[in-house]
């Protein structure tokens, strides 16, 4: 773990932006995580960050509104925003080419709970959904620079946390 941590710090050293750092993190995990018998351990590696809807650029706001449908978004509504992506398919190597994950709105605990992958991701990071959706200033300062995590589904086949069984799991394992 210590070696991995050191290599990861080296990989992001000198990155000019958060997005560039996130892309380097994704590339590092995609390239370095391998199966015991050889080959890539991950078909897809992504990095997300929560942002207020009002702080998103117009393109991402439009995307999030499309996901929400008729529900009007509050400017403070959190969105899980794709910062970087690396994977087997060419379109998985640019966040701008993502078809369904550019900005995932998190309007309420009830709606997020209906998205099993997102709900499980938040739980695996050791966070409570209510604090992700409406974090207090105290919590934000406590977690500043400390909270990160990896969401990994070891057995994707038939997992309730990966709803895209046909389009993703059956194709990429």
Report the pLDDT value the prediction gives residue 128, as an integer from 0 to 100. 77
pLDDT tens string, the chain, 173 residues long: the values are 678 888 888 999 999 999 999 999 999 999 999 999 989 988 899 999 989 999 999 999 999 999 988 878 999 999 999 999 999 999 899 999 998 899 999 998 888 888 888 888 788 777 778 777 877 666 555 555 555 566 666 676 776 666 665 666 566 65
Instruction: Report d(CA 13, CA 30) in Å as an integer.
Output: 18
> What integer pLDDT is reported at residue 142 of this predicted model?
59
Note the pLDDT of residue 151.
61
pLDDT confidence of residue 158: 74
Pairing of strands 44-52, 78-87: antiparallel
Outline where DSSP puts E strands in 36-128.
44-52, 78-87, 103-106
Instruction: Determine the Cα–Cα distance for residues 6 and 163; give it in Å rounded to an integer.
Output: 34
Residues in the chain: 173
Please measure the distance between the N-terminal and C-terminal CA atoms of the chain and give it in whole angstroms: 26
């Amino acid at each position: 773990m210590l070696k991995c941590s050191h290599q990861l710090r080296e990989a992001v050293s000198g990155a000019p932006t958060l997005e560039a750092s996130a892309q380097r993190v994704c590339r590092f995990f995609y390239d370095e995580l391998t199966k015991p018998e050889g080959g890539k351990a991950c078909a897809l590696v992504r990095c997300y960050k929560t942002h207020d809807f009002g702080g998103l650029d117009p393109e991402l706001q439009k995307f999030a509104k499309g996901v929400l449908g008729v529900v009007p978004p509050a400017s403070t509504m959190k969105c899980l925003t794709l910062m970087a992506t690396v994977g087997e398919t060419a379109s998985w190597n640019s966040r701008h080419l993502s078809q369904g994950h550019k900005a995932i709105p998190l309007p309420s605990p009830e709606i997020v709970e209906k998205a099993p992958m997102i709900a499980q991701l938040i739980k695996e990071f050791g966070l409570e959904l209510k604090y992700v959706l409406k974090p207090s200033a105290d919590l934000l300062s406590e977690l500043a620079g400390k909270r990160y995590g990896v969401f990994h589904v070891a057995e994707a086949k038939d997992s309730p946390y990966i709803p895209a069984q046909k389009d993703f799991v059956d194709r990429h394992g």
